[in-house]
Amino acid sequence: MMSDFVSNATHCSIAPGRVNLLGEHVDYNDGMVLPAAIDRAVTLIARTRPDRLVTLRAQDLNESVTFSLDALSAKTDVLGQPLPAWACYPAAVAWAIQEKGFDTVGIQAAYQSNVPIGAGLSSSAAVEVAFAALWQELSGWSSSRMELAKICQRAENAYVGVNCGLMDQFASANGVADHALYFDTRSLEFHPVPLPRGTVIVIADSGVRRSLTTVAYNDRRAACEQAVALLKPHLPGMRALRDVTPVDFARLEHYLPTLVARRAQHIVEECARMEEAARVLEAGDAAAFGRLMFAGHASLRDLYEVSCPELNVLVESARALRGCFGARLTGAGFGGCTVNLVAEEQAEPFIAGLTQAYEQATRRKADVYLCHASQGVTVTKL
């Protein structure tokens, strides 16, 4: 029990994971994305302490650590030992809050999560947002939820060393129940869009954890940057692949090396799919949105090459089941999860059918579960 570690806890912070419904790998190309916060979350309980120490317990790992808020740059605990990887995320948030000029206070805290780690559902972002919102509440400074997300992104980029975009922290901080968030990663403007009536989100965890993704991810970012450099002389005013229309790309792709062209084609077409997605979701057209999901997966599989056999089995198995409007890999790829848009009345047989089909095809068990689009981070007094 977390309460055994934090006696007399005064506050509870709950930050959701997220699933991205469409717009994959476009966040670092200034494109639009469509995440939804989900009802899988990090739950954190805490109380202040009178010194400048932070004592944490990761309940799921059965591990504890204590570090000082006045020695965060050292990335060590109070005994001088390197912080364990899991503790770097809360420490990073405290560091980024202080860098921003806000206060942090010593805390005794414990947390647990039902967001699968390494599955592409942003477990690390949920941890970051839960701690940021908690420190905001306990320390008394004010900030918008968007600013809170930026602090968390800064923490992960500069302290943890992961070159992530803003989408994950944004969705965990700003989620709206029963809605996805249509988010422009360039302007940071967003608006909630209702999910089609009578549909639910089903997530299927392949059980395959990502490997070699840092190298592969960086290779794809580099290919996008190369495409921008080569296309810019032909498209005045272009800043990112988001600015290239499919018509422009068809006219200019011969300027790109073959592999770079494939990577860029995915981004250009995915951005176009996002424009169409805004229209069909406002119209409540589940079937049309589902077709965009399937097309997005095919592009990630064939052009961006970030899928894997298990994810492909999940998508094709879903396509064959009644009630499935669309399916695609979600997250960076190379393993993790697929996201499915399913008729609510067919959800239970869909989950059973997909679980069975995946096990028959791969001899692996998938964790397939219904989830709902949920609100963003909340902090309550106990």
Q: Which residues are designated catalytic?
A: 168
**Residue 215: partners with Cβ closer than 8 Å, 6 or more residues away:** none
Give the span between the Cα atoms of 320 and 304, in whole angstroms: 24
Query: For residue 116, what are the CA distances in angstroms to 1, 123, 300?
Result: 20, 7, 22
CA-wise closest residue to 106 among 15, 6, 3, 2: 6
Q: Which helix (H) or strand (E) holds 14?
A: strand 11-20
User: Is residue 111 a contact partner of residue 132, using CB atoms and an 8 Å limit?
Assistant: no
Q: Beta strand pairing status for 53-58 and 107-113? A: parallel
Give the span between the Cα atoms of 193 and 188, in whole angstroms: 16
CA atoms within 13 A on the CB side of 102: 23
Torsion of CA 262, 263, 269, 273, to 10 degrees: 140
User: Is residue 129 a contact partner of residue 169, using CB atoms and an 8 Å limit?
Assistant: yes
Query: For residue 101, what are the CA distances in angstroms to 48, 104, 149, 169, 170?
Result: 20, 10, 16, 20, 21
Which residue is it, tokens 């805004």? 278
CA atoms within 13 A on the CB side of 178: 5
- Please measure the distance between the N-terminal and C-terminal CA atoms of the chain and give it in whole angstroms: 16
Give the span between the Cα atoms of 357 and 355, in whole angstroms: 6
Alpha-carbon Rg for the chain, nearest whole angstrom, is 21
Give the span between the Cα atoms of 382 and 28, in whole angstroms: 39
Amino acid found at 152: C
Which DSSP category does 156 fall into?
I
Q: Which conformational region is residue 181 in: left (phi greater than 0), alpha (psi within -120 to 50 degrees), or beta? A: beta
Q: Please state the length of the chain.
A: 382
